[in-house]
Amino acid sequence: MRQIAILAGAAAVLILAGSAQAADVEVKLLNRGTEGVMVFEPSFVKIAPGDTVKFLSTDKGHNAESIKGMLPDGATPFVGKNGEDIAVKFDKEGVYGVKCLPHYGMGMVAMIVVGTPGNVDQAKAVPQSGKAKQVFATLFDKLEAGKTASK
């Protein structure tokens, strides 16, 4: 009877440990997607601290890199190589702006929201140009809509 109790306890610990593991989210870098041309899909991702986003260079000629000023304090910037996948673990809560450098002016940007972001105003203050400005306006609207829905 004691062995059964020990085994049941060990199984419960393993099940709980498995459910507490960080998640992996895939974001495709595409020439054409459901939101138009030169896009990250999805372009808006909400994750928990410790989760990993895998940026998949589905169509060649793209990269994923963080945007200066659109990171929470203490977060490490990242730069993926053109045409290669990159996996980024997000440990710090906040808003992260991501761009494809070759297609940034065409609006190929994404927003990763980790936990409860405290750097929204800082991220909004980063100047954007071209279509990236319009896309980020839409992404910030999604972020605000999510805050309202969760209250």
Q: What is the pLDDT of residues 10-62, one digit of tens each?
A: 444 444 444 467 899 999 999 999 999 999 999 999 999 999 999 999 999 99
8 Å CB contact between 37 and 61: no
- Domain 23-149: give its CATH superfamily: Cupredoxins -  blue copper proteins (2.60.40.420)
Q: Can you tell me the distance from the alpha carbon of 73 to that of 86, in angstroms, rounded to the nearest whole number?
A: 22
Q: Between residues 110 and 12, which one has the greater pLDDT?
A: 110
For residue 82, the model assigns a pLDDT of 97
pLDDT surpassing 80 at residue 2: no
Confidence of residue 5 (pLDDT cuts 50, 70, 90): very low
Can you name the residues that pair with 86 across neighbouring β-strands? 55
8 Å CB contact between 120 and 95: yes
SS3 93: coil
Tokens of 149: 């829905």
